[in-house]
Amino acid sequence: MRLPARSEAAALAASAMRMAIAIILGYGIATVNLGIVVNAVLALAVTYLPAVLRRDWDLRLSPGLTFVVTLAVLLHALGMVGFYDEIWWYDHLTHTLSAMIVAAVGYAAARAIDLHSDAVSFPPRFLSLFILLVTLSLGVLWEVLEFLARLGAAAVGVEAVLVQYGLGDTILDLVFDTVGAVLVALFGTRRLSTLIETIREWLR
């Protein structure tokens, strides 16, 4: 079955971005940069997650969502090459985009469960708060992982695989995580109907 032109373009773009991440991985290996290598490997693994979900769980993500997820991990991999240090707003962009993905998936999952089961009911205000809390919780977890990665790297004398610039940077990261969640709550929920229906069908 042939994909619609827009979906086909999104799928092709996702494949091109996967190749770009592979190139970044090659660069990290060539320059013996552990941070770039680890983050590129993880980014590549994430790009194959939609295929794994489709094969093992029969959960089919749209080409558009696959494109956005791939874009997010590509931007993070590029950040490790040097963009985080050279472009002051780059970290804010990646955190906002990643938070939007987390918020969208969290909202879609909760809404699908709400529609699937009569035993639960999530009022719209609760869902808005849910989006924010889930996004911030995962944002805090990420900041903790960055801090632990920095401590662990310093303890063994190697380069940190995650970038962490201090308390001020952590607070700003959480602020932009909040921005991403609010954007989804205000403008994105109506565009998630396909993902909601996909999860609902999978729950059946």
| Burial class of residue 112, CB neighbours in 10 A (0-12, 13-18, 19+) | buried
pLDDT tens string 84-98: 989 989 999 999 999
Cα separation, 158 vs 144, in Å, equals 19
Residue 58 has phi, psi (to 5 degrees) of 55, 35
Cα separation values, 165 from 25, 82, 85, 146, Å = 23, 14, 10, 9
10-57 residue pLDDT tens: 889 999 999 999 999 999 999 999 889 999 999 999 999 988 888 888
pTM of the model: 0.87
Write the pLDDT tens digit of every residue in 140-174. 998 888 888 888 877 877 777 776 777 788 899 99
Length reported for the chain: 204
149, containing H or E segment: helix 124-156
pLDDT for the residue 99: 94
Would you list the domain boundaries of the chain? 1-87, 88-204
pLDDT of residue 119: 81
Of 69-78, 105-114, 187-196, the range with the lowest mean pLDDT is: 187-196
- The token pair at 143 is 């900041």
Res 10: pLDDT:
82
